[in-house]
Structure 1
Amino acid sequence: MKGKSGQIQFMFFGFLFLLFSALISTAAISEGVFPVGHDIILFGVSVMAFCNAYLYPQFKENDERSKRIREKGMFVSYFFILSYMIILMGLFQFNLINLSGYQTVSVLAAMTMMTVFITFVVISKRY
């Protein structure tokens, strides 16, 4: 039962952060200032919590398999994150998007969090 309580906690926080993100995003869209920055971070934390809920039974033991998932996940995520940065640089260069520094860093941080943990989930299904 101990493993289930950890998963339930992650699910609870995932839904809580998703609700906060939805509320802030709705307010930001109605004001015409989306993305604010912290709304995207909250969404990224929500995705991270849901991924941790799925991964909790596998990662709580910290065995060789979980270490391998983390290692491969970080390796694959590196290339995705590098791709995000290259795409963002091109979008800024050709003035296709107009974001402040805070918004840009928030988008990159959220995408990094989501990429790493989604990659962990995908790799955990393979191994």
Structure 2
Amino acid sequence: MASQKTFFIIGVLLSFIFVVRLFFFFMTDNQEAIVYAVELLNWGSIAVMAFCYSYLFPQFKEKDERAQTIRQKGIYYAMFVMIISLIIIMLLIQYSILSLTTLAVVRILISLVLITISLSWVILAKKM
């Protein structure tokens, strides 16, 4: 059974994993730093999502119109952020400013989706 405390505990555990991996990232001489940094971004985005869900749980457990409006508007705003980030990533790769593999691009996009949707829901929940 999901609860606010459960999401918070999961967020703390994921944040711990993120911090430990970040520590090892700075302590080792990594040849493929971009791959490791993208993996760190994944752990961080999942931790952010867990903390956002912990904050939003009391408001979202009731299936009312306000919660539905927050969800719809949040995904709508996140879509625009994703389109802008896709354009930026495309330009960075096209002009050889950034050299990424397809897997790294997909991981970055997944992290951006998780972060933008979760944070837009939190922002909208505070405003509404």
Query: TM-score, normalized by length of structure 2?
Result: 0.88
* Pairs within 5 Å for 1:72-111: 72-111=73-112
- The Cα shift of 1:22 comes to 2.4
Return the letter of the residue paired with 2:82. I
Q: Does 1:56 align with 2:57?
A: yes
C-alpha distance after superposition, 1:65-102 (max 9, x if no partner): 00000011011110001111000001101111122222
Aligned length: 124
- What is the SS of the residue equivalent to 2:96? coil
Unaligned segments of structure 1, at least 5 residues: none
Return the letter of the residue paired with 1:73. G
Q: 2:6 aligns with which of 4, 9, 32?
A: 9
Q: Partners of 1:23 and 1:43 in 2: how far apart?
A: 11
Q: Partners of 2:12 and 2:104 in 1: how far apart?
A: 23
Equivalent residues of 1:8, 1:53 under 8 A apart: yes
Q: Partners of 2:29 and 2:113 in 1: how far apart?
A: 27
C-alpha distance after superposition, 1:29-84 (max 9, x if no partner): 42423343433222111000000011000000111100000011011110001111
Unaligned segments of structure 2, at least 5 residues: none
Change (3 A) 1:49 1:39: same
**Identity across matched positions, percent:** 28
Q: Partners of 1:111 and 1:14 in 2: how far apart?
A: 17
Q: Partners of 1:57 and 1:103 in 2: how far apart?
A: 35
